[in-house]
Structure formats: C-alpha cells, structure tokens
C-alpha cells in the first residue's frame, strides 16, 4: 500500500501548507509505515508514504521548474529511457542521468509529453507541476489500481490517494454534490470524474487531469483502444499465451527476492480463473500463500459448495486454505459502516461484506492480495451480446442490416417476429452499443426519490465510440468491461485490502492480456455451452475437465436473506422512514417511506428490487453520517458566515474610506 498527499497553489505564495499536508497524510496512515522526506516549497507541500515490505512505493522530485510525485510501480521505465537519444534529449541538463523514478518520469515526459504515460507499463499515478507554466497534470494508467483524487477550491489544489486525505484539511469546504446523486443511486458508485463531495474529482483510469489557475480540473482521455488484427490460430496457442501472461502479470509486481519472503493471499473460488492463478503462483515459487474462500451460512442461499472445490485446488497448489462464512447472525451493519468509511461512497454491499470480513479476519497475515478477476471481461462475453450471431450478422450486406434496423421497432410489436428482432440485436454492433448506452441511464426503479431524473451517463460511452477506432463487438465489451470493472471491483479490493495493510494485483489485468483479447477471434470468447472456451481449455489441461467445465449453479442473492433476517440491518432500515434520517434532506420523503413500507409488508421475502433500493438508502445514510456529519456542516456554515461577515465589513470600510477621500478632495478643491 502507498499514498500521496499534496496541497499546492499555481503561483508562489507565503502560505505554509506543511501542517495541512501532514494532517492529510496522517488520515491515510493505514497505507504505509514509511514516510518519505516531505517536500516543501513556495508552491506547497508533498508527503508520500508506503510500507517497507510492500510492492508499491512513493517518491517526490523537486526542482526550480518542476515537482513530480509518483505512486505505484513501473516495469519498463528504464527501457523507455534507453530508447531516448542522449544528445539534447531533454531541456533540463540536470536530468541527463536521472536516478530516482520521479526524475526518470520527468525526463520521459519532457521528451514524449502526455504520451509518455501511454508507453509506461505498471500501475501508477503521477503528478507533474510545471511551475513556470502554472500547470498541474495528474496521470493514471489504464490498468491502475492506484486511486487518485484532486480537489480544487479558491485556486488551491489538493491531491490525495483517498478522499479522507482532503477532508482532513479544515480549509476544504465540504458540500454534497447533488449532480451525481442519480449516478450514485443507479450504480451504487460514482464513475468519475465528479464525486459525491463537491469540488473533489476522481481521476478515471486511462485519463489525466489538466489543472490550470481559476479552472476546475479538466478530465482528458489518455488512452484510446487500438484495433488489432484477428489471429486465426489454434485454441492451444491462445491457451498457452494466457498461461504465460498470468506469470508475467505476477512477475511485473513481485520480484524473485519477494517470492521468498512476501506473504500473499488469493481469493479462491471454485472457478477456473482463480484456480489458474493459484497454480501459477506455485510454479513461480511463491512460498507463503493463503487461499481465502467466502461462503454463506444462511438457509436459502442455495449456492454450489464452491468452498469444497476451492479447498481441493488449494491443496493441489500447496496453499493454506481458509474459509470465511457470513450469515445474518453476524453484525452486518457494522461491516457496512466499515465499508462506507473505507470506500468513501455508498458502495455495493453484497460482495463487499464477505470480502471486508475475510480481509479483516486475516489482517497482518499477508501483504499482497491477488485475484483472478478480468478473465471474464477479456476472454468471456457480455451476456447481452452473442459472438456467434455477430459472426453471422457481419456477413450480411450493410444495406440489408440498415433495413432490418429500421423495421426493428415494428418487429418488436409482432409476436412472430419479436424473437427474431431480439436475435438480431444480440449480434448487431450498433444495437449492442445502443443497449450499453441504455443500461447507463437513470435506474427507473429509483424514480420519485429525486426531483431531477434526467441523469444520463451515455456521454461516457459515446466519447469512446466517437474517438476510438471501430472495434468488433466482443472487443468493445473487453474495453468497456475493463473500465467498468475498475470502478466496481478494483476500488473495492484496493481500499479494503489497504486497511488490511496489503497491496493488490490482478494478473489477468495487464496490457499483454488485453491485447491478446483484441487479437482473439470471437469464437475464442464464447462457445455453444460455455463462455471463456480457451481459458477453460487451459484449465482442463492444467487441472481436469471436471474443474474446467463444472456447471455453475445460480443462487439467491444473500442480500435479500440478510435484509429479511439480520436484526441490525432491518432496524436501521426501518429507522430511515423517520424524517430525522439525513437522507430526507436530499431525497423525496414520501418515496423513502413508500420503499420502507414495502419492506415491512414483505417481511421474509423483500424481493430483489426492494432489497436493492433499501441497500442504496442505507448506504447513502451511512455516508452522510460519516462524511457530512451535522456538527461538521454546522461548524462549517458558521465559519462561512463569519468569513462572509468579515468580507462585508471589509467592503463597508472600503466604501466608507472612499467616501471620506471624495469628501476631502471636494473640500480641498473648494478652498
């Protein structure tokens, strides 16, 4: 784990920010036991921290012209520097032989500009302050697990790895950002760049912030997806490439020395993805390995007993197997409070609760968390998109497809043609795009909670569709799934693991894996019966066909069971109908009461839709209590009123002085 904290201005100032930045760094002290030497200059202050035995590090370089702050780890920086011609390679002679990572990054930036961070591999966030140009830029790589937040008020800029770092500075004025309420209510998260806290911005992966005086940070695209030629090669070729790249995804962050001493934990399910990562860890010689499995003990959550399969896999891979069970008898409300405090937004609880409980229980026993995520995105398929149908559709003449699209609304109304219309949509690229955009519009179930229901997240997708080269539908899903997963999953694992003192790596989430996905023919991503056929072939070769092709059982959401049986959650949910609950300040009271009344009426069977709405309300209420507590807002309003009164008195004094000056001038002229 690591963290960066900074508070800066665009012009030299007499303000001393070191005290404020020290408080910011203390607020994220769980991210590191080593403090790098603080950098203080006439523009502001920077402090980094990381764990002495961790994977990611922080660093700050400062000169008369630039300040560069780095958080993360790179794998090809030295190779990129060697490719730069030495004669006149940078405009800064002091960087002719850079030694520190931050100095090397600046040397690369001075040659390549923003493109330098597209060339760079690893997981990183980089802040570059160009002092003479009064410009601050913040970069985040496409695959980054390194979070980055920028706040901007009164020509002062804060940078922090977590929002709570910014909030630790009392000079920052806390206010709810009502604009993103529909987004938060629809998805349980905010996609960025805006967050629930006004004037605090989240940097999306593959983007950079361009910050100039007097303007809010401008979010610009850094990475655009590439269109690669499809390789019609045997399944065995892709299977072996996937196997090799899993190893590269681990080696990129864990060196040979760390493999002897680093303690790792892997979330191991009964599926093929995490099982392959477990086997690769054994092959690479990683000694200290824990396998974590999560299960649900409540009756009615009828899942396949994957913990038994996971245990067998753990034994095969020489791992210490640990299963963490969650049930409605546990204090789930306390877990939800911890998650809100950690994640800093009303997040999705169903998966985060068992993860939080497992990481909390084994805190201190590992320093690196590994997952098998992203295989579904890169080598599977969007459930609303059918690759074989797409293979047929793209053989049709474009003129015929245009005619079919025109008549689709009519076909939808005719029972005999409705099925054919749906069949065509699942394979037609433009209609798949329309579906993806539609899915990102305001959730209809939430109507009534907000007066303004016109939220539309579609521009987020449209900017890729407009600026990126046309990708095959299965490749669009790989790219969109990558960016969406980063918000939904990466932030959860990164934050929760951070409080357990651990870094996080995802071996499937690397540029080689992504480019292999783009080069893979559509038949490699979905077969007649199974998704991820090439990944399953690899698992069958490395383990057995039984594990590779095991049938997954669909199970009831534990969230519904918890809402029906957990006394702590139900009592808190019922309390939300009273208008003293904070959510009534921002959401429609009648709509809130109606949702809670439906929960009471349904008792043991709340239903998925009601459960979804109730968890959203609980999460928002917990967030308001944690990050906008009434006493803080009251004190802040008091301070703001005092400042307004001071400014008003200053204006009155100035006006009175001007009148006196005019009177004196008039008297002098008459004499």
**Rg of the chain in Å (alpha carbons):** 27
Mean pLDDT across the chain, nearest whole number?
82
Instruction: Say whether pLDDT at 631 is over 60.
Output: yes
Residue 175: the pLDDT is: 93
Instruction: Say whether pLDDT at 25 is over 80.
Output: yes
> What are the CA-CA distances from residue 17 to residues 13, 112, 671 (Å)?
10, 32, 53
Residue 532: the pLDDT is: 86
Of the two residues 638 and 211, the one the predictor is more confident about is 211
Q: What phi, psi does 76 have (nearest 5°)?
A: -130, 20
Instruction: Say whether pLDDT at 366 is over 70.
Output: yes
Instruction: Say whether pLDDT at 304 is over 60.
Output: no
What's the pLDDT tens digit per position in 392-423? Answer: 666 678 788 788 878 888 887 888 777 677 66
Q: What phi, psi does 288 have (nearest 5°)?
A: -95, 105
Q: What phi, psi does 39 have (nearest 5°)?
A: -105, 125
Residue 637: the pLDDT is: 57
Task: Return the C-alpha torsion angle 632, 634, 638, 643, nearest 10.
Answer: 50
- Whole-angstrom Cα distance, residue 426 to residue 431? 8
Confidence of residue 169 (pLDDT cuts 50, 70, 90): very high
Confidence of residue 307 (pLDDT cuts 50, 70, 90): confident
Q: What phi, psi does 58 have (nearest 5°)?
A: -125, 155
Residues 212-247 as b or e (16 or more Cβ within 10 Å = b): eeeeebebeebbebeebeeeeeebeebbebbbebbe
Q: 483: alpha, beta or left, given left = phi > 0 and alpha = psi -120 to 50?
A: alpha
Instruction: Say whether pLDDT at 447 is over 70.
Output: no
- C-alpha 225: how far from its chain's center? 19
Residue 114: the pLDDT is: 93
- C-alpha 411: how far from its chain's center? 40
ω before 193 within 30° of 0 (cis)? yes
Q: What phi, psi does 110 have (nearest 5°)?
A: -65, -20
Residue 576: the pLDDT is: 95
Long-range contact pairs involving 86-92 (C-beta distance under 8 Å, separation at least 24): 92/63, 92/65, 92/66
What's the pLDDT tens digit per position in 215-228? Answer: 889 998 888 777 78
Q: Where are the beta strands (DSSP E) in 170-276?
A: 200-202, 207-211, 218-221, 263-267
Confidence of residue 533 (pLDDT cuts 50, 70, 90): confident
Task: Tell me the DSSP string of 634-660.
Answer: HHHHHHHHHHHHHHHHHHHHHHHHHHH
CB 4 within 8 A of CB 71: yes
> What are the CA-CA distances from residue 188 to residues 243, 324, 374, 619, 636 (Å)?
34, 25, 20, 8, 27
Neighbouring residues of 493: CB distance < 8 A, sequence distance ≥ 6: 145, 355, 369, 371, 504
Q: Which two tokens stand for residue 129?
A: 């302050």
Confidence of residue 351 (pLDDT cuts 50, 70, 90): confident
Q: Which of 89, 87, 86, 92 has its CA nearest to residue 63? A: 92
What's the pLDDT tens digit per position in 255-300? Answer: 888 888 889 999 998 789 999 999 999 999 998 899 998 888 887 6
Lowest mean pLDDT of 44-53, 147-156, 412-421, 464-473, name the range.
464-473
Q: Which of 457, 421, 454 has its CA nearest to residue 438? A: 457
Instruction: Say whether pLDDT at 87 is over 50.
Output: no
Residue 88: the pLDDT is: 45
> What are the CA-CA distances from residue 191 to residues 336, 439, 484, 566, 666 (Å)?
21, 14, 8, 30, 62
Instruction: Say whether pLDDT at 651 is over 60.
Output: yes
Instruction: Say whether pLDDT at 364 is over 90.
Output: no
- Whole-angstrom Cα distance, residue 401 to residue 424? 9
* CA 257-71-87 angle, 5° bins: 90
Residue 190: the pLDDT is: 77
Neighbours of 350 (CB within 10 A): 15
Residue 46: the pLDDT is: 92
Confidence of residue 459 (pLDDT cuts 50, 70, 90): low
- Whole-angstrom Cα distance, residue 195 to residue 631? 22
Whole-number percent of the chain with pLDDT over 70: 79
The mean per-residue pLDDT over the stretch 103-119 comes to 93
CB 238 within 8 A of CB 518: no
Lowest mean pLDDT of 151-155, 346-350, 385-389, 442-446, name the range.
385-389
416-420, 550-554, 609-613, 656-660 — which one is most confidently predicted on average? Answer: 609-613
The mean per-residue pLDDT over the stretch 49-68 comes to 90
């Amino acid at each position: 784990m690591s963290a960066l904290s900074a508070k800066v201005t665009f012009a030299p100032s007499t303000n001393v920010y070191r005290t404020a930045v020290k408080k910011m760094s203390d607020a994220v002290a769980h991210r590191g036991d080593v403090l790098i030497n603080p950098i203080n200059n006439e523009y502001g202050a920077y402090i980094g921290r990381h764990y002495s035995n961790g994977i990611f590090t922080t660093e700050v370089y400062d000169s008369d012209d630039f300040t560069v702050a780095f958080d993360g780890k790179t794998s090809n920086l030295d190779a990129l520097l060697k490719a730069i011609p030495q004669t006149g390679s940078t405009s800064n002679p002091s960087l002719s032989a850079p030694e520190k990572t931050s100095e090397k990054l600046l040397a690369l930036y001075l040659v390549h500009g923003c493109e330098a961070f597209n060339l760079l591999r690893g997981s990183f966030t980089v802040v570059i302050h160009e002092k003479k140009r009064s410009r601050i830029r913040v970069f985040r790589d496409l695959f980054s697990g390194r979070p980055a937040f920028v706040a901007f008020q009164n020509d002062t800029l804060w940078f922090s790895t977590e929002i709570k770092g910014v909030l630790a500075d009392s000079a920052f004025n806390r206010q709810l950002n009502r604009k993103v309420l529909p987004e938060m209510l629809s998805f349980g998260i905010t996609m960025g760049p805006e967050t629930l806290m006004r004037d605090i911005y989240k940097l999306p992966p593959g983007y950079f912030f361009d910050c100039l005086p007097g303007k809010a940070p401008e979010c610009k695209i850094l990475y655009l997806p590439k269109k690669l030629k499809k390789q019609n090669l045997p399944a065995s070729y892709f299977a072996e490439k996937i196997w090799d790249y899993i190893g590269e995804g681990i080696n990129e962050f864990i060196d040979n020395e760390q493999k002897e001493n680093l303690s790792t934990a892997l979330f191991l399910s009964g599926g093929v993805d995490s099982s392959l990562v477990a086997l690769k860890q054994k092959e690479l010689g990683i000694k200290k390995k824990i396998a974590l499995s999560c299960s649900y003990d409540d009756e009615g959550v009828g899942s396949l007993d994957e913990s038994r399969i996971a245990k067998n896999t753990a034994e095969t891979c020489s791992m210490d197997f640990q299963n963490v069970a969650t049930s409605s008898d546990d204090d789930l409300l306390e877990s939800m409070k911890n998650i809100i405090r950690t994640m800093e937004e009303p997040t999705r609880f169903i998966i985060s609760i068992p993860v939080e409980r497992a990481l909390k229980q084994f805190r201190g026993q590992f320093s690196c968390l590994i997952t098998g995520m992203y295989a579904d995105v890169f080598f599977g398929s969007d459930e609303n998109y059918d690759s074989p149908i797409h293979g047929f559709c793209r053989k049709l003449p474009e003129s015929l497809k245009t005619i079919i699209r025109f008549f689709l609304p009519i076909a939808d109304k005719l029972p005999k043609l409705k099925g054919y219309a749906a069949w065509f949509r699942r394979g037609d690229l433009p209609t798949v795009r329309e579906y993806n955009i539609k899915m990102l519009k305001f959730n209809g179930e939430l109507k009534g909670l907000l007066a303004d229901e016109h939220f539309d997240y579609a521009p987020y997708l449209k900017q890729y569709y407009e600026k990126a080269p046309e990708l095959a539908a299965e490749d669009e899903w790989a790219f969109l799934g990558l960016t969406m997963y980063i918000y939904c999953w990466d932030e959860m694992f990164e934050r929760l693991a951070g409080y357990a003192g651990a870094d996080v790596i995802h071996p499937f989430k690397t540029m080689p894996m992504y480019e292999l996905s783009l080069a893979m023919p559509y038949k490699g991503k979905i077969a007649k019966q199974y998704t991820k056929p090439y990944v399953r072939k690899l698992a069958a070769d490395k383990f057995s066909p039984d594990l590779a092709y095991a049938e997954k059982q669909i199970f009831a959401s534990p969230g519904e069971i918890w809402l029906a049986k957990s006394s702590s959650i139900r009592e808190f949910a019922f309390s939300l109908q009273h208008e003293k609950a904070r959510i009534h300040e921002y959401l429609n009271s009648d709509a809130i009461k109606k949702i809670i009344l439906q929960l009471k009426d349904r008792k043991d069977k709340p239903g998925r839709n009601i459960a979804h709405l109730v968890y959203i309300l609980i999460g928002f209420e917990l967030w308001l209590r944690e990050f906008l507590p009434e006493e803080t807002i009251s004190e802040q309003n008091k301070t703001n009123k005092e400042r307004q009164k001071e400014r008003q008195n200053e204006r009155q004094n100035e006006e009175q002085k001007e009148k006196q000056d005019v009177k004196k001038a008039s008297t002098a002229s008459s004499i």
